[in-house]
Chain A
Amino acid sequence: MEAVYEWARVLYQDTGINLTFIYDSYDRNRLIDGFLMTVWLSVICLGLSVAIGVVGAWAQGARSAILRRCVAGYIEFFRNTPPLVQLYFFYFALGSIMPTTTNRFGLPEPLLDNFAWAVISLSFFAGAFNVEIFRSGIEAVPESTKEAAEALGYTRLQTYLEIVLPLAFRVCLPSLNNNLVNLVKTTTLAYAIAVPEMLYQANQIWSDSVNVPEMMTFLLIAYVFLVGVLVWGMHRWERSMRLPGFGS
């Protein structure tokens, strides 16, 4: 690693290309923290949004018309408004009426910090898409399969958990993966409320070292690489999980 650091330093002296995030340990750590934050944010939002999707899809099949309407309203609202404005709305508007606690210095501290708000907002945004995805997957499970389960003495819940969901999951995996990729790209929005993810940290670095072109190029390549690897991996997973006889 030392050789790489040294190479970056020499590169800067020779050509003026200032890759501070390689040779400067402080910047390097900041960027690594940012990267981990991006991953962490994506993972938490992924889990929550899938949970929202499952619950929402279940609620959409419920008997109560009010519940169905509410879920439909939630989906339409979150799908048709800009995620950035949702984020601002959650963080600035709802954040302003949340109760505050006092920290150990006796200063008022909001109950939910910007990271928590970013998680909530992005999860709801991605969850709105997941509900539709799961519902289409559940609808794709043939009625006869469910009847077969019923004939074998499964209860409704058992059928749902052990027969319908596993099949539906495999049917909707491609769409789910698309949504996941979109989610990873959407985590950059958390920059707007100063969550220290990769874009934010890169911004800090280029503000300190005035190496905007280098950082911008690196950032673009890093994100394309990250998402590219994700897309590639997901694609392979999809192929191995494909249900024979379903789709093309």
Chain B
Amino acid sequence: MKRAPVFHGETDLPVLLPAARRLARRAERERLAGGPLPRLKARHGLWLLAILLLSAGVAQAQADAQVKESVITAIFKWMPVLLQGFIFNIAISFLAMVIGTAVGAVLGLMQISLLPPVRFGSWFVTQFFRNAPWLVLLFFCMFLLPFEFDLGFATIPFPDWVKATIGLALPVMANVSEIVRGAVQSLPSGQWEAAESLAFSRRQTLWEIILPQCVKRMLPPWMNLYAILTMATVLASIVGVSEMMTQTGRALAAENRPELLIPFYSFVLICFFAYCYPIAVWTRRLERRYQVKL
């Protein structure tokens, strides 16, 4: 008997065909995208929208009879300002992450140095900045850094947002340092010994054997840290950087309508959720994929 040809994504076995076809389509898409796609479905967006509308509705209901404009219109009117603030948040988070990662990686490598003073010093710095609350560090940088640095030939201005970025980069630095140290220590010592028996120098072992393996382990916690940092950028509003939260406060003050409070704050929450949730999902997926392969 001649069998019908079986195409990719199809089968003649008794399987649940609709699911198989759907999975094949998704696999195709993911192969094109070169990685797992966040499985945010349309219903997630609908949920968010529903929450926003509900809150707007509640607000509308408690508003006076002679409302000047609807809550939705007010949100649309202020949206450019708020989203501009949100982009500023993301810019701060990028910059703080870059600075924190660069310094933190060095600090983390110092933590596994063979010289006791270097090791102890970097350990102390790491623990100090890890244990201090983010907000206190932010205050510290805000109040104690000068507003400009005079180098004699040139002055470097230090606006508020730069100081806030540095303040946020400090805890990031400490956390990155711990991530690096943890990743290096989580490798089996056999790797070090094998490299030594092959006559690799310490530097060679570190750069060519240990660190390449660590990158995989460091990626999920590093992304997690980035999400935490993004959520911490709102703290800058307390010290007066005009990011999203500050802009929201100003918009609310300008409108001076209590029924707008819930929709506006919901909008801020939703913006951050929409940005951080995919990162969290992706992190979890990476974590699962990189799970213990020793």
Interface residues of A, Cβ cutoff 8 Å to B: 73, 76-77, 79-86, 88-89, 92-94, 96-97, 181, 184-186, 188-189, 191-192, 199, 212-213, 216, 219-220, 223-224, 227-228, 231
Assembled-state Cα–Cα distance A77/B280 (Å): 11
Once A186-B133, A220-B132, A223-B131 are accepted as A-B contacts, the answer to whether A82 and B262 lie under 8 Å apart by CB is no
Most chain A CB within 10 A, of B132, B133, B139, is at B133
- Contact residues in A for B232 (Cβ distance below 8 Å): 82
Evaluate contact between B262 and A219: CB separation under 8 angstroms: no
Interface check B191, CB cutoff 8 A: no
Please classify the interface of chain B as helix (H, G, I), strand (E, B), loop, or mixed, using the class held by over half of its residues.
Answer: helix
Partner of A80, one of B143, B227, B234, B237: B227
B261 contacts A85, C-beta separation under 8 Å? no
B265 at the interface (CB under 8 A from A): yes
- Count of residues in B whose CB is under 8 Å from the partner chain: 38
Report whether A188 and B133 are in contact in the complex, using a CB–CB cutoff of 8 Å.
Answer: yes
Against A, the Cβ 8 Å flags (1 = close, 0 = not) of B1-14 are 00000000000000
The residue from A83, A212, A219, A223 contacting B231, defined by CB atoms under 8 A apart: A83
Q: How far is the CA of A228 from the CA of B126 in the complex (A)?
A: 12
Per the 8 Å Cβ criterion, residues 74-125 of B in contact with A are none
A219 to B62, CA, bound (A): 43
Complex Cα–Cα for A125 and B273 (A): 14
- Whether B135 lies near A224 (C-beta < 8 A) is no
Determine if A82 and B272 form an interchain contact, defined as CB atoms under 8 angstroms apart.
Answer: yes
Nearest 8 interchain pairs by C-beta: A82-B231, A185-B133, A227-B131, A80-B276, A89-B265, A93-B262, A188-B135, A93-B261
Q: List 15 A-B contacts (CB under 8 A).
A: A73-B47, A80-B280, A81-B231, A82-B232, A83-B231, A84-B237, A84-B238, A86-B269, A88-B245, A93-B265, A96-B258, A185-B131, A191-B135, A199-B136, A231-B131
A242 to chain B, nearest CB (A): 18
Are B269 and A228 in contact, CB atoms less than 8 angstroms apart?
no
Cα A18 to Cα B258 in complex, Å, equals 43
Which residues in chain B, 109-166, are within 8 Å of chain A measured between CB atoms?
A: 127-128, 131-137, 139-140, 143-144
The answer to the question of B219 belonging to the interface, with a C-beta cut-off of 8 Å to chain A, is no
Q: CB distance A228 to B131 under 8 Å?
A: yes
Q: How many residue pairs at the A-B interface have CB separations less than 8 Å?
A: 106
For chain A, what secondary structure do more than half of its interface residues adopt (helix, strand, loop), or is it mixed? helix
Minimum CB–CB distance for B40 against chain A, Å? 11
Q: Is B268 close to A, CB under 8 A?
A: yes
Least CB distance, A80 to chain B, in whole angstroms: 4
| B265 close to A85 (CB less than 8 A) | yes
**Bound form: Cα–Cα A93–B245 in Å:** 14
Chain A, Cβ-Cβ closest to B238: A192
Q: How far is the CB of A164 from chain B (nearest CB, A)?
A: 24
Complex contact A81–B132 (CB within 8 A)? no
- Is residue B235 contacting chain A, with contact meaning CB distance below 8 A? yes
For residue B108, give the distance in angstroms from its CB to the closest CB of chain A. 19
- The contact of B62 among A77, A83, A97, A191, by CB within 8 Å, is A97
- Closest Cβ–Cβ distance, residue B188 to chain A (whole Å): 12
